[in-house]
Amino acid sequence: MHLDKNHLRRQLRQARKSLTGYRRDRQQQRIRHFLTAIPQVRHARRIAAYLPFDGEPDLLPFMRRVESKIWLPMIRSDWHLDFRPTCKLNALARRPINARRNRFGILESQRLPILRSAQMDVILMPLVGFDHHGNRLGMGAGFYDRSLVGLRRPRPALIGIAFDCQQTASVPVDPWDVPLDYIVTNRGIIKTNHNQARKPE
Ligand code: ADP
Ligand code: MG
């Protein structure tokens, strides 16, 4: 484990959390706007998204518009992610009976069926930090890295979602780190040289 990863995490989580009020609302709106301009997102049948946690950008207005396409991550006991359909997202944010907080306090859908990452067309990932090469720094558990190992082409488009204050010159990379195809921020869409995503149908 990189010590410098942990140092960066502390710094960038703080930056993400300190973005508040009107500035946060405006930047989130811009992120959602740019996100819907990506062809793979527009044409996707299954989109893995997330419920915002620890100051992550809030995609709920977008997720509600395309609710039938949205899948939410669940953490398996082996620390891989699978994906479940949403319960009604309005209700989910208020914690209905069929959603449950996992061991990290994140709400999870309890609905069936359960699908693997390979069955998604697009995977929207929150992140703590990123660089322009598409390297992603997560919260430090490696959930996405573990779940994206061995994906074969055509594979889902891997899209990081971030505020521009989360960008750093260079994220330390370990051998297991899976890079992103795109990063969507309030400033626009960064297409990285890792882009090998499924072509829109
Ligand atoms: P994050 O991606 O959340 O920033 P790291 O990349 O530092 O976190 O990974 C955290 C831990 O997850 C690593 O110490 C590593 O042991 C584990 N990990 C990540 N990917 C895999 C994998 N493919 N197989 C097994 N363990 C993994
Ligand atoms: Mg990683």
Please identify every residue whose CB atom is under 5 Å from ligand 2, which is an ion: 145, 177
- DSSP secondary structure string for all residues of 116-167: -GGG-SEEEEE-SEE-TT--EE-SSS-HHHHHTTTPPSS--EEEEE--GGGB
Judge if the beta carbon of residue 72 lies within 6 A of ligand 1. no
What confidence score (pLDDT) does residue 105 get? 85
Q: Give the closest residue (by CA) to ligand 1 atom 9.
A: 142
Ligand closest to the CA atom of residue 149: 1
More confident residue, 92 or 64: 64
> Model's pTM, two decimal places?
0.94
Q: Give the closest residue (by CA) to ligand 1 atom 11.
A: 142
Ligand closest to the CA atom of residue 1: 1
Looking at every residue in the chain, the average pLDDT score rounds to 92
Per-residue pLDDT tens digits for 101-137? 898 888 888 888 999 999 999 999 999 999 999 999 9
Ligand closest to the CA atom of residue 2: 1
Q: Which domains does the chain have, with CATH numbers?
A: 2-191 (3.40.50.10420)
Q: What atom of ligand 1 comes closest to residue 174's alpha carbon? A: 6
Query: 173 alpha carbon to ligand 1 midpoint, in Å?
Result: 11
The yes-or-no verdict on residue 146 having pLDDT over 60 is: yes
Per-residue pLDDT tens digits for 160-184? 999 999 999 999 999 999 999 999 9
Judge if the beta carbon of residue 141 lies within 6 A of ligand 1. yes
In the structure, what pLDDT confidence band is assigned to residue 201 with cuts at 50, 70 and 90?
very low
* Distances from the Cα of 177 to the Cα of 82, 90, 134, 194, 201, angstroms: 18, 33, 11, 13, 28
